[in-house]
Amino acid sequence: MPITKRSTLTQYLIEERRRYPGADGEFNSLVLDVALACKAISNAVAQGELAGLHGDYVEATTDTSSTNIQGETQKKLDVLSNDYFIRTNEWSGTLAGMASEEMEHPYQIPSQYPRGKYLLVFDPLDGSSNIDVNVSVGSIFSILRCTGTQNADVKEADFLQPGSKQVAAGYALYGPTTMLILTVGRGVVGFTLDPVLGEFMLTHEDIQIPADTQEFAINASNSRFWEPPIKRYIAECLAGKTGPREKEFNMRWIASMVAEAHRILIRGGVFMYPRDTKDPSKPGRLRLLYEANPIGFIIEQAGGRVSTGHEALLEVTPTSLHQRIGVVFGSANEVRRIESYHKAPRTEVFHSPLFGERGLFRE
Ligand code: F6P
pLDDT at 67: 78
Asked if residue 125 belongs to a known ligand binding site, the reply is: yes
Same fold, 9-204 and 215-355: no
pLDDT at 358: 45
**Alpha-carbon distances of 141 from 33, 177, 247, 277, 348, rounded to whole Å:** 12, 19, 36, 29, 39
Top mutation candidate among 285, 288, 322, 328 for ligand 1, by most atoms within 8 Å of CB: 285
Closest listed residue to residue 200, CA positions, set 184, 176, 182, 175: 182
Whole-number Å distance between alpha carbons of 312 and 218: 20
- Tell me which DSSP letter residue 167 carries: S
pLDDT at 27: 96
Top mutation candidate among 78, 171, 252, 257 for ligand 1, by most atoms within 8 Å of CB: 257
Whole-number Å distance between alpha carbons of 108 and 360: 51
With a 6 A CB cut-off, is 127 part of the ligand 1 pocket? yes
Query: What spacing in Å lies between the alpha carbon of 13 and ligand 1's midpoint?
Result: 32
Class of domain 215-355: alpha beta
Please report the atom of ligand 1 found closest to the CA of residue 70.
1
Whole-number Å distance between alpha carbons of 209 and 329: 11
Query: What spacing in Å lies between the alpha carbon of 233 and ligand 1's midpoint?
Result: 21
* CATH fold for domain 9-204: Fructose-1,6-Bisphosphatase; Chain A, domain 1 (3.30.540)
Asked if residue 236 belongs to a known ligand binding site, the reply is: no
Residue ranges of the chain with per-residue pLDDT less than 70: 1-4, 346-363
**Alpha-carbon distances of 34 from 142, 181, 234, 299, rounded to whole Å:** 10, 12, 37, 20
With a 6 A CB cut-off, is 257 part of the ligand 1 pocket? yes
Please report the atom of ligand 1 found closest to the CA of residue 222.
15
Residue type, 153: D
pLDDT at 73: 82
Please report the atom of ligand 1 found closest to the CA of residue 126.
6
Q: Are 252 and 269 in contact (CB under 8 A)?
A: yes
Asked if residue 128 belongs to a known ligand binding site, the reply is: yes
Query: What spacing in Å lies between the alpha carbon of 137 and ligand 1's midpoint?
Result: 11
Whole-number Å distance between alpha carbons of 333 and 326: 19
Q: Which residues pair with 94 in a beta bridge?
A: none
Asked if residue 28 belongs to a known ligand binding site, the reply is: no
With a 6 A CB cut-off, is 126 part of the ligand 1 pocket? yes
Residues 6+ apart with CB under 8 A from 345: none
Domains of the chain, by residue range, sit at 9-204, 215-355
pLDDT at 173: 98
Strands ordered across the beta sheet of 215-217? 250-251, 215-217, 270-273, 327-330, 305-307
Asked if residue 127 belongs to a known ligand binding site, the reply is: yes
Residue 235 burial (C-beta neighbours within 10 Å; 0-12, 13-18, 19+): buried
Asked if residue 219 belongs to a known ligand binding site, the reply is: yes
> For ligand 1, atom 9, which residue shows the shortest CA distance?
255
> For ligand 1, atom 11, which residue shows the shortest CA distance?
255
Q: Both ends of the chain: CA-CA distance in Å?
A: 55
**Alpha-carbon distances of 259 from 138, 187, 207, 271, 296, rounded to whole Å:** 7, 19, 16, 11, 14
> For ligand 1, atom 4, which residue shows the shortest CA distance?
127
> For ligand 1, atom 13, which residue shows the shortest CA distance?
255
With a 6 A CB cut-off, is 286 part of the ligand 1 pocket? yes
Please report the atom of ligand 1 found closest to the CA of residue 72.
1
With a 6 A CB cut-off, is 219 part of the ligand 1 pocket? yes
Residue type, 176: P
